[in-house]
Amino acid sequence: MVKLDYNSVDWGKLWQQAQQSRAKKEKKVKDWDNRAHSFAARTATSIYTKHFLQLLRPEAHWTVLDVGSGPGTLSLPLAPRVRHITCLDFSGNMLDILNKRAQQYKIANITTCKAAWEDDWRQLGIRPHELAIASRSLAVRDLKGAIKQLCCFATEKVVITDKVRHGPFDPGAFRALQRPLQTGPDYIYTVNLLYQMGFLASIEYIRLDEHPTYRNFEDAMTSYSSMFPSINPDEKKQLKKYLQSITTSNQNGGVTVHRQHVPTWAFISWNPNERNL
């Protein structure tokens, strides 16, 4: 009988193996550039942002490093509550939208930098901030390396959000298309790895239990289609049929999608200076 020992488990390696077994291909810069405008429109009024900021409890003296900032989903509403925010993203189109919105809303305490996890941030002029956040942006090959990177650039606090089980994916849609749902590792890998690294993380949960609303059915289809790489015409018909079965129309012409499974995210925070080794 093989004796199992917690300390012998390499959670970083398990993460890498689980990432490699995902059926869904990793999105490249071009993919996010192409999705920038639709993604920005869909997340502009996300209930996720409201819950995130409530849990974050911003402090006015903070400088914030937002890694994987996208079009400013968090940074734009957070900016009036902190001293300064530096936004990193590897999609130039996402950052262009962020800069235009910051100018539109007369927000002057945000700077942007095109950068990926693998880049040398110091060479790009990035310095440590009081807070480093990585919101739904941990689709990395080396989770341990990403955690170390965040700790190097945060002097007071690190906050990440990671999916719980299926996260944003709808199991019902995958069943409708008869596709396997393999979303890769979820937050429990991250929490266990943090524990092994000596960080005592706090965990809270963001449940997106309010039904998402879209401008029209076509926007809802675009959002759902993004769950499926290389979707073919027959699958698109099945997806449309499924989506119609869980969608209601609104008086303003929009549509509301009533998902059976509530998307849930883990809000994980820790002090990068405190390690219990």
Q: Which tens digits make up the pLDDT trace of 96-137?
A: 999 999 999 999 999 999 999 999 999 999 999 999 999 999
Asked, for residue 54, whether it belongs to a domain, the answer is yes
Spatial distance between the Cα atoms of 8 and 144, rounded to a whole number of angstroms: 16
Name the helix (H) or strand (E) containing 248: strand 247-249
pLDDT at 159 over 70: yes
CB burial of residue 231 (10 Å; 0-12, 13-18, 19+): middle
Q: What is the pLDDT of residue 45?
A: 54
Q: What is the pLDDT of residue 40?
A: 44
Asked, for residue 229, whether it belongs to a domain, the answer is no
Asked, for residue 244, whether it belongs to a domain, the answer is no
Domains in the chain, number: 1
Q: What is the pLDDT of residue 136?
A: 93
3-state class (DSSP) for residue 174: helix
Q: What is the pLDDT of residue 46?
A: 73
Of 127, 130, 132, 133, nearest in space to 156 by CA: 130
Asked, for residue 205, whether it belongs to a domain, the answer is yes
Spatial distance between the Cα atoms of 193 and 195, rounded to a whole number of angstroms: 5
Contact 113, 125 (CB under 8 A): yes
pLDDT at 36 over 50: no
Asked, for residue 45, whether it belongs to a domain, the answer is yes
Q: What is the pLDDT of residue 23?
A: 47
Q: What is the pLDDT of residue 33?
A: 44
What's the token pair of residue 174? 């995958």
**Residues in CB range of 178: below 8 A, 6 or more apart:** none
Contact 132, 152 (CB under 8 A): no
pLDDT at 252 over 90: no
Average pLDDT over residues 22-32: 52
Asked, for residue 275, whether it belongs to a domain, the answer is no
**Mean pLDDT of the residues in the chain:** 88
Of 48, 113, 49, 39, nearest in space to 76 by CA: 49
pLDDT in tens, 176-235: 999 998 888 999 999 999 999 999 999 999 998 778 888 899 989 988 998 888 899 999
Name the helix (H) or strand (E) containing 111: strand 110-114
Asked, for residue 241, whether it belongs to a domain, the answer is no
Residue 129 pairs in a beta bridge with 154
Asked, for residue 221, whether it belongs to a domain, the answer is no
Looking up residue 21, the CATH number of its domain turns out to be 3.40.50.150
pLDDT at 42 over 80: no
Q: Which domain holds residue 22?
A: 6-214+260-270
Spatial distance between the Cα atoms of 268 and 132, rounded to a whole number of angstroms: 12
